[in-house]
Amino acid sequence: MSTIVIIIIVLVVLALIALALTAGRRQRYRKLEEKATVHGREAERHSARATQAEVEAREARERAQAHEQESRAAQERLPDRD
């Protein structure tokens, strides 16, 4: 009878250890998922910032070209100083 009790106790202890290990694995997996989600959001935010910076750079180049064209046109309108 005592052998059966010892076997049952061992099985219960093994089941508790397995349950604890499984819970720990689930918790680590959940934390990794959260980190991946956070990093994904940060990547999207950085991508949006990069896109915005590209748009602003393109607009700045366009303004510089327009300014250069206006400058050339103004210089052509100036009388010659010979």
What single-letter amino acid sits at 69? Answer: Q
* 48-72: average pLDDT: 96
* 10-32: average pLDDT: 93
Average pLDDT, the chain: 92
What single-letter amino acid sits at 63? Answer: R
* Nearest partner of 36 among 21, 44, 47, 24, judged by Cα: 44
Fill in the DSSP letter of residue 79: P
Share of the chain above pLDDT 90, in %: 79
Confidence band, pLDDT 50/70/90 cuts, at residue 79: confident
Say what the pLDDT of residue 82 is: 57
> Phi and psi dihedrals of 69, rounded to 5?
-65, -40
What single-letter amino acid sits at 33? Answer: E
* 43-66: average pLDDT: 97
Q: Burial letters for 29-52: b for 16+ Cβ neighbours within 10 Å, e otherwise?
A: eeeeeeeeeeeeeeeeeeeeeeee
* 59: its two tokens: 């607009």
